[in-house]
Amino acid sequence: EMQWSSIDWSSDGTRLLLIRSDGYLVELDASTGRALRRVAGGAEVFSGGTYVADEIMIGRSRWTGDLWIAAIK
C-alpha cells in the first residue's frame, strides 16, 4: 500500500500535489485522477510541497556527506 508524506491542493482546486513515501512527487488532475507530472527524488528527499500561484514549490534535502560505520570491540 502506497503512503503519502504530503498532500496539497492547487488554489483553483484543479490539481493535487502528492509526495509519496518512496521519494516521488506526483501531480494529479483532480477531475480525472490522471498524472500530470511525476518526478523521482533520486538522491534527494522531498520533505514537502505546495502551490504558489501556478508554480510548485518543493522542500528537499540531499545527502552529500560520507557515512562511516565501525565495529569497536
* % residues pLDDT > 90 (the chain): 42
* Dist. CA 33–CA 52, nearest whole Å: 21
Residue 4 banded pLDDT, cuts 50, 70, 90? confident
For 28-58, the pLDDT digits (tens) are: 999 999 999 998 887 778 888 899 988 999 8
∠ Cα 42 47 62 (to 5°): 45
> What pTM did the predictor assign?
0.73
Query: Taken in order 29, 32, 38, 41, is the CA torsion positive or negative?
Result: positive
Q: Hey, how many other C-beta atoms are within 10 angstroms of the C-beta on 65?
A: 5
Residue with cell 485522477: 33
